[in-house]
Each structure stands twice: as structure tokens, then as C-alpha cells.
A and B are shown apart, each in its own frame.
Chain A
Amino acid sequence: MRALYIARRVVTELIRDKRTLALMFVAPVLIMFLMKLIFTQSASTSVKVATVDLNNNVRTTLNDIKHVAVSKKASNASAQQALRDQKVDAVIHETSASHYTITYANTDATKTSLVKAGFNAALTQNGMKTLKQTTVKLSRTVSQMAATIARLSPQAAAAMKQPKAKAQPRAKIKSRYNYGDKNTDFFDKIVPILMGFFVFFFVFLISGMALLKERTTGTLDRLLATPVRRGEIVLGYMISYGILALIQTVIIVLTTVGFMGVEITGSLGAVMVINFLLALVALAFGILLSTLAQSEFQMMQFIPIIVIPQIFFSGIVSLDSLASWVKDISYVLPLTYAGNAMTQIIMDGTKLTSLGVDIGVLLLFLLVLTGLNVRGMRRYRKV
């Protein structure tokens, strides 16, 4: 009963704090929107390449490749100068027949890899062209020989009967996408994790600050001078911030689906359940760490230590190729499990019932952290 009154008080305080409310509800949506803009716009890069003594055929082929523009330079020195002046992104120098030296500006890794890939493609295409010409020459020789044979012995010619070259049908590729469509980009991949991250970040920060304030203004002491149980205080905070997190989750999920057009293969409800669970973990985490902070500023210091690492290890970048001890770090971070569960729900349409491990671990986090919180309040009252 007291827990409900505490929850009501916390909610009343929050409703009157308009700025914090705006931070919780508007900020995540704004950031998601900005990220959507950025990751969608930077999809195509183009490069300028200077060539020196490059085989004409290769150069033309390279120039025909999308997003690659080629300019011919008379000497290696002038090409290198252009590179230094940032007029071109790379210099391709054919030092001797089929020996190439490529100098990259390498200020943008995307451009470097685009030049590499483009040049390789040009070489291959050019090789094919040469091969084709050789084939044409060869088949001409063959028909000349056949004509000679026919003149000498007609029977043999009939037996040989040259097979007629049939027009090869052009290869056609039809693409089908299990998730999303051909416009699916990096943003779509990180959306499930971002959603979880924002819920975690804001709930962690605001709940931690709230309890910290309660401690520094002395109201916690006063509260503990009443017969209230320590568990009731923690529960009261869980209920109030749980409600807030629920509203935040609904807003974030609905805007990403409705407004930014991210497709959710699984059920919307399942996404919200996982987000909500993560919010409760963040809440317990925030309350626990607030007991280690002496001021709001010290609470902020937990952001680079506790919050930011989670985003790196939660699946935004694939950890499959990393050393196993690096992967082990991710196992102690709650966002890993939430991110994994959300990615599966959103991309593969996995049902909640098949995500037992992730949900179980999140519940375990919640249970342990809450227990620690109730226990930790003994610092302020011994009973």
C-alpha cells in the first residue's frame, strides 16, 4: 500500500517537471529521426581517380563503373600532387605492363574500398573482353579450317557439322527479401538495439537522479524515519518509473514503426514487453548506482562507464569476428540480451516464447539488482 503512495508521489513530481518529461518522450524520438536521416543519406559515395600510363581499355572500363570518375594525368608527379591537393581520392599508376601501384588518400575508408573494388572489377571486365576477342579470333580460324577441310573432303565436312552458336540467354536475378525491401539499410539493422538503448539510457539516468535527489535533500532520511519498509520504497520507484518507461516505450516503438517506416516482422506487443523489461532493469541499475554517487555530476560520470559500452557490445557491430574475451564482456551487459531478443523479434519474427534465455537473463538481472537495492538501503536505516 505504501509503495503505491510512493509511486503516486513520484509520478506527481514527474508530471510537474515538464523538462524531464520532454527529455524522456521527445528526445529519443528526435535522435532516432536524425539517425534515420543520416544513415539513409550517406548510402552512396563517389570517388575521383587519377591514372598514369594506364592501359586505355582498363581506364575506359574503370570510368564506366558507377560512382567512379577517372582523369588521365601525364606524369606520376602531377597525379600525386592532385592527390595531395585532395582533388582526387586515389592514383593508379601502371609501372610496367600489368603492374599497378595504387596510392590512396585513405581519409575515408569507404572511398578507399570503393576504389579497390572498382579497379578489381575493371581489371576483370577488361580480362573478359580480351578473352572474348581471342575467342572470336579462334572461332574464325576454326571456320577457315572447316572451309579448307570441306574443299578437300566433303564427307568429312558433313560428319563434322559445325554446331551452331546459340544465343546465350542473359542471366536474370530476381531478389526477394525476407526482411524489409531493397531500401533496407544500416539504420534498419540498428533500430531494434537503438530502441532498447534509449529506453535504458533515459530510465537509468532519470531514476538514478531522482533517488539521488531524495537522498541529498534529506527526504529519504525522513521517509526512513517512518515505518515504511525499504522494499516498499524500491517497489514504489519501480512502479512509478515502470509506468513512465511503458509510456516511453510505446511512443518510441510507435514512432519508429509508423513515422520512420521500420518494419516489424514479429508482434509489436513482444517488442514492448522486452523494452519494458529492459526499462525495469535500467531502473534498478540507476537506483543502485545512485547510492554510489554523491552528486548529480557523479551520476553523470556513470554514463561513459556503464551506458556507452553497452551500445558497442549490444550487437550494433557484429562481435562474431572478435576475440572471445571481448565477446565475454557482452554477456554481463543487460542490453546484449534485450538487443538480441529485439533483433530476433523485429527481423525474424521470433515469438516471445522462444526467447526464454534472453527474457530469463533480464529477469535475473532485475531480481538481483532489486535485491541489492533493498539491501543497500540499510546504509541509511539499519532496519
Chain B
Amino acid sequence: MTTRLIDLKHLQKKFGQQTVLADVSLHVDAGQILGLIGPSGAGKSTAIKIALGMEVADGGDALVLATHMPNRPLLGRIGYMAQDDSLYDALTGAENLRFFGRMKGVKKDALAADIAHVADVVDLTPALAKRVSGYSGGMRRRLSLAIALLGDPELLVLDEPTVGIDPALRRKIWHELHQLRDAGRGVLITTHVMDEAELTDEVALLLDGKVMAYDAPAKLEALYQVKTIEEVFLKAEGVA
């Protein structure tokens, strides 16, 4: 049996009167990519925040790497990339990587090699010495992803990682994600791009704080008798 990296059971979360998560159960195994799709405000980011321990669920249980969240030391084994770029503009790309590497607790003698590796993955090596304030939108996104990859984490949590990235680079990033998966890492990814959902191993469709559909992309398409995940999405939402 494979290791279960993320195991969210019947999560419930309310902000004031508003119910954001009604009943959400998700799991990510080692060597698996789980895509989380759903309209804005469906609760994708909240589910991620609970998995990281930024928020605490009102009900249910969040197990990550066999540990109940929130748990601080565990965060060093997770790579997280937020929706916004979250970079220090006054610092260079290399300085950003070095800083977050240290915060994650990457060993000092391994840090330089690690930075060189992740910069290569996102194709940023030539721009590392430049200040982030001079980066283009795509470069910022790539640097942000590189930071998430630092320290070779067992689990990656990526919130909309491919927004604003051109197709060639997007393909490269997915190639890298598939390689990570094949190396036994787990990936939880949210996305708005429906054809990206086809590249995942399993898709969870989140709507109004509930999981509406949860299976492999091909199986979902068969179940809804449609050709693409986009159509599944529209059908589940009741638009088409």
C-alpha cells in the first residue's frame, strides 16, 4: 500500500455565518497528483490552508504526512506555492531562494546545489542575479515555483501555479511535476485551466464547499458522458 501524504476527512469550516467548507474529504498518496478544481469561492484555498495548518477546521480531521495539522515542524517537508507570487522585490532571485531555503531548514552545504537545481527546473538560472522588481510576470511565477521546490519536499501544495505562464514553460512545469510524481512525491494542485486537469491522476471538483465529483479524469468523463473535464465541470455545476 502506498503512503497517504494528505488525508482530509470531512472538513468543515465557517467564517462567521458563511460556510466555506461543508464536507470535504480529499487524499493524496505518494506518487499521485490530485487536481482541485472549482469556481472561485468554492473553498479550494481554504482547504489548502487547513492542510498547511494556517487555518484550523471547525470539524473533521486533517492528517498530513501522518500528522495532525496544524503542526509547525512538519512544514519543512511541504513545498507551498501561493496564488500571489509572494516574493521580496528588493532582493535578487538568488537571494529570495537562499532566504526561503534557510527558512525551510535546508542544510547549509546542500543549499547552493539545491538552488542551482530548482533554478534550472524553472529555467531561471540566467536571471538569478537580477532583482525581482525587474522580473516579468512569468518569471515571478517561475521563481515562486522554484521556492516551493526547495528542499526536495515529499509533498507539494500548489495554488494555481501556471497562471500567467506561457505554453512552452507550462509544458515544462508539468513535465517536472510528472517526474516528481514518478519519484514518489505527492502533489496537490488547484487550477482554473481545465485541460491541465486532464494531466492529473485524480480530480476533485469542489462546489459550494462540497466535493461534487472525485475520480480519475478519464473515469469522470465516462461517468458524465462527456469528452473533457471542462464539460464535466459545466455539467456538475448545472450550467450545461
**Nearest-neighbor residue (CB-CB) of A381 within chain B:** B54
A228 and B103 contacting across the interface, CB-CB below 8 Å: yes
On whether A225 and B76 interact (CB within 8 A), knowing A5-B103, A9-B88, A219-B86, the answer reads: no
A14's closest neighbor in chain B, by CB? Answer: B90
**Which residues of A294-312 have CB atoms within 8 Å of chain B's CB atoms?**
none
| Known contacts A9-B99, A226-B104; A381/B147 CB under 8 A | no
CB pair A219–B54 under 8 Å, yes or no, is no
Q: Give A226 to B147 CA distance when docked, in angstroms.
A: 11
Given contacts A2-B102, A383-B70, A383-B71, contact A225 B52 (CB under 8 A): yes
Kindly state whether residue A12 has any CB partner on chain B within 8 Å: yes
Chain A residues contacting B53 (CB-CB under 8 Å) are 381-383
The docked-state distance in angstroms from the alpha carbon of A2 to that of B131 is 23
B88 lies within 8 A of A17 (CB): no
Contacts of B211 in A (CB 8 A): none
Evaluate contact between A382 and B56: CB separation under 8 angstroms.
yes
Write the chain B residue with the least CB distance to A12.
B91
CB distance A17 to B90 under 8 Å? yes
- CB of A227 within 8 A of CB of B75, answer yes
Instruction: Annotate A246-262 by CB proximity to B: 1 below 8 A, 0 otherwise.
Output: 00000000000000000
Please name all residues of chain B whose beta carbon is closer than 8 Å to the beta carbon of A381 when the two chains form the complex: 53-54, 70
**A229, B72: Cβ atoms under 8 Å?**
yes
**C-alpha spacing A306/B88, complex, angstroms:** 29
Question: How far, in whole Å, are A382 and B58 apart by their CA atoms in the complex?
Answer: 13
* B100 close to A (CB within 8 Å): yes
Q: Which B residue sits closest to A226, measured CB to CB?
A: B103
Asked if B55 lies at the interface with its beta carbon under 8 angstroms from chain A, I say yes
Write out the residue numbers on chain A whose beta carbons fall within 8 Å of the beta carbon of B78.
225
Q: How far is the CB of A122 from chain B (nearest CB, A)?
A: 68
Is A221 in the interface zone, CB < 8 Å from B?
yes
B73 within 8 Å of A (CB atoms): yes
Within 8 A of B (CB), among A196-238: 217-219, 221-229
Could you mark each residue 74-89 of chain B with 1 if its beta carbon is under 8 Å from any beta carbon of chain A, else 0?
Answer: 1110101011111111
Q: Does A13 contact B (CB under 8 A)?
A: yes
Residues of B within 8 A of A331 (CB): none
- Which B residues are in CB contact (< 8 Å) with A13? 88, 90-91
Cβ contacts A119-147/B at 8 Å (1 or 0 each): 00000000000000000000000000000
Q: Are B84 and A217 in contact, with the CB atoms below 8 A?
A: yes
Q: Secondary structure at chain B's binding surface: helix, strand, loop or mixed?
A: loop
Residues of A close to B54: CB separation below 8 A: 221, 224-225, 380-382
Instruction: Let me know if B184 is at the binding interface, CB within 8 A.
Output: no
* Contact partner, A219, options B72, B80, B87, B105, Cβ 8 Å: B87
Query: Would you call B201 an interface residue if the criterion is a C-beta within 8 Å of the partner chain's C-beta atoms?
Result: no
Bound complex: CA of A226 vs CA of B101, how far in Å? 9
Please give, as numbers and ranges, the residues of chain B lying within 8 Å of A225 by CB-CB distance.
52, 54, 75, 78, 80, 82
Chain A positions within 8 Å of B105 at CB level: 226-227
B152 proximal to A (CB < 8 A): no
A227 B99 Cβ-Cβ under 8 A? no
Do B86 and A226 touch across chains, with their CB atoms under 8 A apart? Answer: no
A164 CB within 8 Å of chain B? no
Q: Within 8 Å of chain B (Cβ to Cβ): is A172?
A: no
Residues in A neighbouring B95, C-beta threshold 8 A: 9, 12
B64 → A minimal CB distance (Å):
12
Q: Is the CB of A222 within 8 A of B100?
A: yes
Given contacts A2-B103, A218-B82, A381-B70, contact A227 B76 (CB under 8 A): yes
Minimum CB–CB distance for B153 against chain A, Å = 11
Chain B residue at smallest Cβ distance from A5: B102
Task: Fill in one digit per residue for A13-25: 1 if any B CB lies within 8 Å of its CB, else 0.
Answer: 1001100000000
* Residues of B with C-beta under 8 A to A9: 88, 91, 95, 99
Contacts of A224 in B (CB 8 A): 54
- Are A223 and B103 interface neighbours, CB within 8 A? yes
Contact of B82 among A222, A228, A229 (CB under 8 A): A222
Measured CB to CB, the closest approach of chain B to A5, in angstroms, equals 5
Closest A residue to B75 by beta carbon equals A227
Set of chain A residues within 8 Å of B104, measured between Cβ atoms: 226-227
> Nearest Cβ distance between residue B63 and chain A, in whole angstroms?
15
In the bound complex, residues from chain A placing their C-beta under 8 Å from that of B70 are 381-383
Q: Please, which residue of chain A has its CB at the minimum distance from the CB of B144? A: A222
Report chain B residues within 8 Å CB of A222. 80, 82, 86, 100, 147
**How far is it, in angstroms, between the C-alpha of A122 and the C-alpha of B90 when the chains are bound?**
69
Q: Note all chain B residues with C-beta closer than 8 A to A229.
A: 72
Chain B positions within 8 Å of A12 at CB level: 90-91, 95
Cβ-defined contact, A226 with B75, below 8 A: yes
Which B residue sits closest to A230, measured CB to CB?
A: B72
Instruction: Give the residue name and chain of the B residue nearest to A217 (CB).
Output: B86
Closest A residue by C-beta to B78: A225
Contacts of A227 in B (CB 8 A): 72-76, 103-105
Complex A-B, nearest 9 residue pairs according to Cβ-Cβ distance, in ascending order:
A218-B86, A383-B70, A226-B103, A225-B80, A222-B86, A227-B76, A218-B84, A13-B90, A382-B70
What would 8 more interface pairs be, CB under 8 Å, given A217-B87, A226-B75, A383-B72?
A5-B103, A9-B88, A17-B90, A218-B85, A222-B80, A223-B103, A225-B78, A381-B70
Taking Cβ atoms with an 8 Å cutoff, the residues of A that contact B are 2, 5-6, 9, 12-13, 16-17, 217-219, 221-229, 380-383
Q: Could you list some 8 contacts between A and B, CB below 8 A?
A: A5-B99, A9-B99, A16-B90, A218-B82, A219-B87, A221-B82, A225-B52, A382-B70
